Structures are given as structure tokens and as C-alpha cells.
A and B are shown apart, each in its own frame.
Chain A
Amino acid sequence: MTVLSRKNSVAVATKPISIAVCAMGGQGGGVLVSWIVSLAEQCGWIAQSTSVPGVAQRTGATIYYIEIAPADPAGRMPVLALLPTPGEVDIVMGAELMEGGRAMLRGLVTPERTTLLVSTHRSYAVEERINPGDGRIDPAPVYDAAAFAAKKVIAFDMEQVAKEARSVISAVMLGALAASNVLPFPRKAFEDAIRNGGIGVKPSLAAFDRGFARTTGNTPEPARPVAVKQAVAPFSPSGVADFDALLHAAAGLPSGAATMLDAGLRRVADFQDIAYAAAYLALVREFALKERAQGVPALTIEAARHIANAMAYDDVIRVADLKTRRTRFSRIAAEMGVAAGQPLAITEFMHPRVEEVLGLLPSGLALVLEKTGLGRLLMGRFLRRGWRVRTDRLRWFVLLSITAELYRLRPVSLRHKREMRHRDEWLDLTRAALEQDYDFGVEVLRCRRLVKGYSDTHVRGLSKFDRVMTAVGVMVDRPLPQGKAAVWTRLLREAALKDPEGTALEAALARFQRGAMA
């Protein structure tokens, strides 16, 4: 019955070139789009671009869309679409790794058609940043997806290249686009588009150039981000004979833990003195002796890491010390790009509580002041508000330096006494756990990760740590079947790192009570 048949169908030869720019608000995606439109138009093509400004402008993910088509000799205007369609996109430009991922998730990248240009830098989303532990998402699936979905992938850290050129990522992306040869326009036309834009032409062209070179050159991005490399080999001599002797001694422990041991020794010596570092090494050695014969020396590594963290705790003295160091001053100067002699003010935001200051005092005196409430009465007034400390001013600098020198009195302070007792209780539990099973011991050591922060945050972390330790104590007293204790300890620790309030930990502890201890 159908009158119409395929015979008189229209020819569907010409398709427009379709480009989707997937970016975050504020990244300059609009500028990139205007360059591409101007580029196409000056080459005699018809261009249509669309975008959704509004709230997407404010750091949210957004898509700009461009279609371009050669001018029709007959003068007809093409009918161009307003949104990218899965399977129909020639070029996807991701201005950040996960935005590239989002484009793929939406199906915009397909193997038959799509060239994916994506910057591999990460701009962490709020949900990744607010985690009390490490909430960063593993980027590996994005790389896997890109290798699978795209016809061609051009991926490198465009943000870094832009920084080097003192320009913006959009110019680097345009350079990569020009070098990708997907668009039938000469390089000069791309550069002209930047020139016609008229704003920040010189740095933009420099960034364009770098983006172009990076794409054509044989310097492909490593497929995966690599771990931070140690600048110096572990156990490099420090020049201080007593300390180097400790390093030498540490070199005899399982070599897989060398990096951690080196870092731990330096941290602890730096925190107090070489004798303190020697005590640290003795403790780590005790655990290293119980190390398993094969595989990664997890026990030694975790002992080296966490005993160092427990011994080099964060107190007012250490903060004062770190804040007044020469290396810190030069680091800030370099970050701010100031030349020698150029005035640079540094303001610290410090707000020690009465507890922190009391902790500095000799334990006997401090306990009296704490118990009677006299400490709060005497000091509360000065500590109600935070201090704006000007480290670049002599007065404050000297005051902080004197505070840093108080390390000599640290061993008799209330805080130190408490920290050491706390450390020893934890290590005793670890020893007991180790007797049951190696993995259990390692997991108990790892729980130290829960203790961090200052003031209230520190108190909260400590309380989570203590709750987990209580559970560990229960498992030490009433051994569980092989391997179970280690698993429970890990689960509890991971739950404690899920949220700041400890809601997940409460739930996990309840499960522990019902499950393991039932």
C-alpha cells in the first residue's frame, strides 16, 4: 500500500562534522567554541554552535556542541542539529579526564567515528574531595574505555601544558585539534582564529603551539599516572654521623621497606632528636624480626610508617618548627613567583585550644591546671579567638622559633606522656594480634591511619581509633577463626574513614557485635 519507496529517496551523502566540547564551567569552553566557529567560517564553511550557560557556568559539567558543513555550491543552508547524538560525533574534546569519561558514558564516543581529545589532568569532584580518607576515583576505567570506544585518542595533560605556556587549556586543546588532522583546515587558519579572537593572543598562540607539538611529537602520555618517585635513594647519608649510623643499621632490615624506614627515621629524628630516632628504630626492628619470609614485607612497612606517625605526632612545637623553616620561606617565595628582595608577607591562621597549650607544660603542672580548670580560666581568654600570625615579622618569627625550641622540654610534657602511653597500648595490642596471625597484626598497625588532624578533628579521629582498638582488644581476647580478625579490623578501619561523623563506623561496629561476636 505504501506509495513511497526507496527509489525516490534523497541522497544522504553529506554529513556535517560534529564536535562536542565536554568541559566544566569556568574552563573557557566558550572561547574554544568561538575559535572553532570562527575557524570554520573563515574557511568558507557554515557553522552552528549551541551551549547551555546559566548555572552550568559555575563549575558544573557542561557540553558545548558545534556542527560545521561545507558551503553548498547551490547556496542551500544545511539544517544542523542542536545536541550531540550518540554514534554521530566526529570529535569529542574533554577538558578534564572525567569529563572525557562522561562523554563516553553518554555514548558520544564511538569506534567508527570519534576522535577523542582529552586532557588527562584531574580536577577532583566535591564527592572525591570530602572523604576523610582517600576519596579519589581510580582513573584507570576511563583509559580502558577510551582505548575501546574511540577511533583515535589524543590524551595528555593539557592543563600542565597550558600552565607552562602561561595560558589557558582551551588554546592547548585547539592546538591538539589542529594537529589531529580531523578538521580539513590548515594550521594557519587555526592560528588566525585565535588572532581574530583578539584577547590574550600571544600566550594563546604559544599554548596552541605547545598543544600542537605535543600531539604531533612522539611524546605520548604514559598510559597511567605513575607513582611519585623518590628524589633521593633511601638511606643516603645526611652528614650527621650518629644519624648515618642509624641509617646504616636500618639498611639491614627487609629491603622492601627501605623507603618507608628512611622516611620514618628522618621524620622522627626531625621531630625530636637522634636518640628518639634510635628508639623508633628499635621498635620497628622488633616487628621486622617477625616479618614473613616471602612477599612484600608488609609488617615492616606498616610498622615503619605508623610508628613514625605515632611518634612524630602533630603538636604546637612541631607546627611552629615547620612554619619557621628556611625551606618553607623559599618554597612560598617560589610559588608566589617573587624575586629576591621583593616584599612577601606570610599570614598564618592559628587557633590553638587550651588543651594544646596545656599539653606543652610538664605533665605534673599541666594535670593540676587541667583537673582544677585553672588552665582554662587563665588561658581561655587569650585562646578564644584565632591568631593571625605574621611569620615574616620578626616579633612573631622569634616567638614561633622559641616555641619550636621547646622541643627540649617535650619529653616531660603532658602531651608526650599521653602520646607515648597511647602508642604503647596500641603496640601491645599489635603484638598480641601478631601472635594470633600475621595479617591481623598488620591490620592493627594500619589503624593508626585514623588518627589525624588537629583539635576537634584530632579528638574525633582518636575516638574512632579507640573504638576500633576496643574491638581489636575483644578479638585478641576471644580469637576468631583463622583470618577473620584481620578482615574485621580492615572493615572497621575502612568504615571509620567513610565519613567524618563515624556513622559508617557505628554501623560496622554493630555488625561486628552481631556477626563476629555473636
Chain B
Amino acid sequence: MAERSFALEVQDLRIGAGETFRGEGILAITKALLQSGVGYVAGYQGAPISHLMDVLSDAQDLLAELDVHFESSASEATAAATLAASVMYPIRGAVTWKSTAGTNVASDALSNLSSGGVKGGALIIIGEDYGEGSSIMQERSYAFAMKSQMWLLDPRPSLPCIVDMVEKGFELSEASSTPVMLQVRIRSCHLHGTFVARDNRRPTMTLDEATRSPQRDLSRIVLPPAAYVQEAEKLEQRWPAAVQYIREHRLNEFFDQPDADVGLILLGGLYNNTLRALMRLGLADLYGKTDIPLYVMNVAYPVIDDEVVEFCRGKKSVLVIEEGQPDYIEQAIGRILHRARIDCTLHGKDMLPMGGEYTVGVLTDGLRNLFVADAPDLLDGMARATNQPPITCAPQIAALKDSVPARPAGFCTGCPERPIFAAMKLVEKELGPHHIASDIGCHLFSILPPFNLGATTMGYGLAPASASAFSGDSRRKGRERKRTIAVMGDGGFWHNGLTSGIGNAVFNKNDDVTIIVDNYYSAATGGQDIPSSRSTPASRSTHHPISRAIEGVGVKWVREIDHTYDVGRMREVLSEALTTRESGPKVIVASSECMLNRQRREKPLKRKALKDGKRVVTQRFGVDEDVCTGDHECIRLSGCPSLSVKPSGDPLKEDPVASIDQSCVACGNCGEVADAAVLCPSFYRADAVVNAARSERWKHRIRSALIASVQQWREARRPVFS
């Protein structure tokens, strides 16, 4: 079950020609796929395209009606390989993932796919996670397009343009027998807007039809000598075909002013922010009318030499606007201009920063630099020089630097992973620090305060592999070593951790500890189901225990903890794993359901039960503030958002006391930690019973009456003063 349901929104995917579609970028892309007569869709979730997978998952009824096959792939490599269905058959296919992380994983399949070429349109929708809010290393997907010779589309962030590019992308792919990548930036995926829809189309050939008349063509398989022929074909046939299609269908846009002598060459994805920067300089209006000639490359790769020559000819200078590095496009254009002997100054990273997101502010500065240098008459005094220093230089604002605390993302309230790391902290106190290899996933938040655990993260499902160099037999005489700990999520485990991590550890006789955090979902990407999920979705096969897979590849020492909130048990098991004399990899599977998902599942049920007058227990934890001494050790072992501090209200206590707010979901972590770490007796859990049976209410009444009489008796003998 995914984090967000699109059940309502997917109904909009049914609208027909002429109707206006309103919604987010990801829904628009889905609609565009259906309008293009796609035959199958696959992918692997991850921001910013997690929601695209969720939309497709929620739209399965509609997809089935249209004979469109949909798969949640095991990894991006799986998704890329799925496109093989378009190699021999004229069936359109689309796959999607987060880039560049996912493209790295998929690149083996992509190389083979692009070498052999495709018959049916093959579209790879990549969520380019670059710039502010990104969760991965800052790289560009551009290199993959270049090295494998796949075309890369980068549409303007407007829904009509994105939809158009999806449809044209398939046509371009078919016209040039080449897979096409379409990149959408993180904010485009979640961009709300409108476009005019077309009818959905069924695929011209279904996958079932293809299986009934299988095709094979040796020349499409990457095997010498076909591979050499394919290289020549790429250069001599597919490239020119692509260029021809791109030119004929005007995928790139010219917003030209014939008498201007300074122009901008920009990627489609940067159009909106560039226009806003021009508007700030008084050179464009809100509707995109501008004095400056623009060449908008909705096709980032290949660069169309003739179009560049055409645009630059007669201009004094051009500025290439491409985000990130290396400056691939600027280099390509330099080559084009040089070869065509066009005397036009080429600007790019000399005016704009080499790295980082091109925000409106950054672009405004870059464009101002350009115009001041090459077209000073364009700018009026105001725009030319900003005499006023930015407000952030004012002392009142600069002072905020010391006041505003950092607020990185962290574990949610009630997260079942928190107690695992609390236990790890406690073990650290006993056995000293260990080298901890982290992975990709929610558990990576353990590297932040208050836990401060984890040394490296090398990729999805790669934690055990990233600790493998340290491996060895801890019992060998004369060799003193400390076991390493690798932490990997269930998402990463099924993505590739089973083979690259666990299988590798068994085979190489590793002696170290791996913790697999099983929260029933691929939680970090939005709570999608995976093979070990405990839910039972109609279209997937779940309930495949991780422990059986691990034992299957040969791990002997496996411990399962089915309630991670038991901090004491968690600590014992981890301690045992680190100290046992048994050799071979030690794997702990720590399972408890992701609290976000659990709440989403349980809350409606509870609401309904309350409405129906059924017995419901509401739980919350609390802190007795008169018992709490304000040392905050509990918070250092937890970091739960609902466990915070508040003024003590007691003049005798200077420091704030711990306090649990209404958002508490009664996971029990704080009580368990207080117990396991022998902290303090301040924590309590209160269970209120709603709609209790009469007998239960009577029992409680009698008990309360007796307790009250003892309390009164004691108060009478010993007055209470504070």
C-alpha cells in the first residue's frame, strides 16, 4: 500500500478528447502514456517518480481495460530489461525510475537495448533528482544518453509540453529505432497545471498477441558480429533519422527576434525559471513574450547541429543555459560553431555557476552578467546594477543564522526503526563503537543526531557489500578485529542486497553482522509493496519471508525479531551477533510495520469501530513532569518527533522537562528505552477504553473507588504540599 492514494485522481485519466485535465505532472504523464497507446509500463519507485508508480498501480483497472500490462519491477535493471518487449515487436513500452541512481542500476540493460535498437517505441521516463530537495548525489543523466546513444528529452515544465513530448517521444523512438529518455525534474513531477486531453488508445499490438507469434531477428541481438553492425547502424541510420524527425516535428522551439544579437540556448526544463529571470530584468512578460531570442532544447540529446548554426548565425553572442556539470551541451555547441566557422561568442559556465540548481535568482545574475557584457543597452539602470544589497545581508536577518536550527528529515513518530538504533546505541555503550555500513532507505536517518550511527552509504542494497572489504575470521589467532555492522532495508534487500550483500558474504566466508530492517514495505520510496510485504494486494504475490531467502543462500546464523520495539531483546540479539563464536555471516531480520502505513491502515478501521459502538482502546504515552528531572537522556536515545521538551513550570527546575504531545501513536519505544537503558521512571502508558462492556466498566469502577479511598486515607494522614 503506497503512501498516497491516487484512487480518486486516476478517474480523471478516463477523460476524452477536448476535455481539460487538471492535476499533477505525474498524472499528466500517465494520461499521455495512455493517449500514446502504450502496451506495457514498468518501473521502480523513488523520488521524484514514486508517485508515478503509485498512480499506475492505482490505475490498474483502467490499464487492464486498455490491455496495458503494468509491473512494479524488482529493480531499475529489471525495468530496463522489460523494454526488450519492444525490440522484436511493434509494441510501445514505457519504464520509469529515479535518476541518476536508477539509471546506474539499469545501465547494463540500457546499453544492450540501445545497441540492438527497438521496433516499438521505448520510452524511459527518468525523474531527474538534481537540485534543492534532492536526496542523492548530484550528477546528470546526460552521460548515459551520450554513451549509449539514446535520445534525451527535457520538456518545458508545462503540462501541455510534457504530454506532447511523451507522445512525440514514442514517435521519435520508432522513427529512429532508438530508446528515448524523457527527463522530468523533481518539481515538474509535482507541478499542478492543466492541459487539453485526447482519447486513450489501445496498443496496436498486445503482448498476448506477440507471445502467440514469437519473432526473432539475429541482427538485433548484441553478439558479434551483429554488435559491430549495430554501431554503424546507430551512426549512419538511427542518428540521421532522429535528427530528421526532431527537425520536422519541431521538438525544439525557436522564440526568435530576427534583429537581436544576443541569444539564449536553454534546456526545456529550465525555460520557466529563465523566463522569470528575463521578466525580472524587464525583458519578458508573464506570458513568455520576450525581446531575447531563445532556442529551447526540448531535446537535450542529440544536439541538432543545423538548428544551432541557424540560431547562432548573425548573433554577437549566445549563452548556453544547462544545469550541473560537465557542460556537455556547451562543449557540443562550441564544436558546432567552430566547425561552421561562425563568429559568435559562446557563453555558458563563464556566466553561470558550474554546479547547483539554476534558481530564478541564479539565472537573473547570470543573465545580467551576459547583458552587461554583450548588450548593455538592453538593461535599464535598475536592472543593470542592483545597488541594494540583498536583505539577507541585513544584521537582523543575518542574526537568524544562529537562531534557526537545522531540520533534516528524520524517523517518523512511532517509526519501528528507531528502537533498533536505540538498541545499537546501548550496545555501543557496552562493546564500544563498530564500523557501521549504511544503505539507502529510511534507516539512513540513523546517521543524524541523536543517533550518529553509520559511516558510509554506497547504494541501494549495498550495505553488506560495502563492509565486505573488512571481513575476515574474528577467531583467527593473532588477528584482532572487530566485527562490522551493515544495516540494510527490506527494499534494498529485494532490490539486490540478497545477492550482492548476503550471497556475497556467505560465499566469501564473511564473519560480520547484517541487520535487515523489515518494515513490510519499501518505506523510504513511499510505502510500496515488496515480496516480503504482509499485505495481500490482488495483483502481487507477497508474504515471502526474508529469513527464508537468507537461509536459502546459505546463512546459518539468522535471528528474527518480530517486534523491534522490544529494545531489550534487540540489544541482546545484536550483542550476541557481535560476540558469538560462530563463524559465517550473522543476519538479524528486525521486523515491525512502518508506522506511517500502519496508521493509514488502522485509523479508518478505528474510526469505524468507534462509530459502530465497538470496544476501542486508545493509547498514548506520557511523562510525569514531576518525576522527570530534565536530563533529556530519553530524547538522546529516541529523537521521536512527539517526544519533545517543554518549560518545567516548576521554579525549582531550571531545565525544560520531557513531554509527549498529541501526535504520539503509543509505539512504546520511549518506555522500552527507559527500561532497557535503565533511565528513569517518568514514562507511563495510558490506555483508555471507549465503548467498554458493562462488566469492564463495573470492574473499573470498583477498582477506582478502592484506590480513591486509599488515596484519601493517605492524604488525610499526610498532607500534600506541592
A–B Cβ pairs within 8 angstroms, 18 of them: A2-B375, A2-B378, A10-B290, A50-B192, A52-B187, A53-B190, A60-B409, A83-B187, A83-B273, A129-B643, A132-B633, A145-B397, A266-B722, A336-B620, A341-B700, A345-B689, A392-B707, A449-B654
**B63 → chain A closest CB, angstroms:** 24
Known contacts A98-B405, A349-B681, A455-B679; 13 further A-B pairs (Cβ under 8 A): A15-B279, A85-B359, A87-B391, A88-B360, A102-B407, A105-B401, A125-B405, A129-B644, A149-B391, A243-B719, A342-B700, A347-B687, A386-B676
User: Could you tell me if B287 and A149 are in contact, using CB atoms closer than 8 angstroms?
Assistant: no
Report which of A322, A351, A456 forms a contact with B675, defined as CB distance below 8 A.
A351
Best-surrounded residue of A48, A148, A260, A343 (most CB of chain B within 10 A): A343
List B contacts of A78 (CB < 8 A): 286-288
Given A77-B287, A343-B688, A51 and B261 contact (CB-CB distance below 8 Å): no
User: Could you tell me if A326 and B712 are in contact, using CB atoms closer than 8 angstroms?
Assistant: yes
A-facing residues in B315-344 (Cβ within 8 Å): 316
Best-surrounded residue of A145, A322, A338 (most CB of chain B within 10 A): A145
Given A342-B692, A351-B675, A454 and B285 contact (CB-CB distance below 8 Å): no
User: Could you tell me if A349 and B675 are in contact, using CB atoms closer than 8 angstroms?
Assistant: yes
**B residues at A contact (CB < 8 Å):** 3, 22, 47-48, 50-51, 132-133, 135, 157-158, 185-188, 190-193, 257, 259-261, 271-273, 275-276, 279-280, 282-291, 316, 357, 359-361, 364, 375-378, 380, 390-392, 394, 396-397, 399-413, 442, 445, 448-450, 524, 568, 618, 620, 622, 624, 626-627, 629-633, 635-636, 639, 641, 643-645, 647, 649-652, 654-656, 662, 671-672, 674-681, 683-690, 692, 696-697, 699-701, 703-704, 706-708, 710-712, 714-715, 718-722
A104 close to chain B: CB less than 8 A: yes
B-facing residues in A355-401 (Cβ within 8 Å): 385-386, 391-394, 397-398, 401
User: Could you tell me if B378 and A4 are in contact, using CB atoms closer than 8 angstroms?
Assistant: yes
A308 close to chain B: CB less than 8 A: yes
User: Could you tell me if B626 and A345 are in contact, using CB atoms closer than 8 angstroms?
Assistant: no
Give complex CA distance A178, B272 in Å. Answer: 28
User: Could you tell me if B635 and A163 are in contact, using CB atoms closer than 8 angstroms?
Assistant: no
**B584 → chain A closest CB, angstroms:** 30
A3 close to chain B: CB less than 8 A: yes
Residues 1-27 of chain A: 1 if any B CB is under 8 Å from the residue's CB, otherwise 0? Answer: 111111011111111100000001110
**B9 → chain A closest CB, angstroms:** 11
Q: Which residue of A has the minimal Cβ distance to B191?
A: A50
User: Could you tell me if B396 and A145 are in contact, using CB atoms closer than 8 angstroms?
Assistant: yes
Given A4-B377, A9-B291, A52 and B407 contact (CB-CB distance below 8 Å): no
User: Could you tell me if B690 and A342 are in contact, using CB atoms closer than 8 angstroms?
Assistant: yes
Q: Which 7 A-B pairs have the closest CB atoms?
A: A52-B133, A60-B409, A54-B47, A386-B675, A125-B405, A452-B629, A266-B722
List B contacts of A85 (CB < 8 A): 276, 280, 359-361, 364
Q: What number of A-B contacts does a CB cutoff of 8 Å give? A: 430
A29 close to chain B: CB less than 8 A: no
List A contacts of B696 (CB < 8 A): 343
**A494 → chain B closest CB, angstroms:** 12
Q: Which residue of A has the minimal Cβ distance to B409?
A: A60
A282 close to chain B: CB less than 8 A: no
**B537 → chain A closest CB, angstroms:** 22
**B176 → chain A closest CB, angstroms:** 30
A518 close to chain B: CB less than 8 A: no
Give complex CA distance A132, B701 in Å. Answer: 42
Q: Which residue of A has the minimal Cβ distance to B680?
A: A454
Report which of A4, A77, A87, A238 forms a contact with B291, defined as CB distance below 8 A.
A4
List A contacts of B639 (CB < 8 A): 126, 129-130
User: Could you tell me if B688 and A336 are in contact, using CB atoms closer than 8 angstroms?
Assistant: yes
User: Could you tell me if B627 and A393 are in contact, using CB atoms closer than 8 angstroms?
Assistant: no
A185 close to chain B: CB less than 8 A: no
Give complex CA distance A54, B133 in Å. Answer: 8
User: Could you tell me if A52 and B190 are in contact, using CB atoms closer than 8 angstroms?
Assistant: yes
Report which of B286, B445, B629, B678 forms a contact with A353, defined as CB distance below 8 A.
B678
User: Could you tell me if B377 and A55 are in contact, using CB atoms closer than 8 angstroms?
Assistant: no
User: Could you tell me if A453 and B681 are in contact, using CB atoms closer than 8 angstroms?
Assistant: no
List A contacts of B271 (CB < 8 A): 79
List A contacts of B406 (CB < 8 A): 125, 127
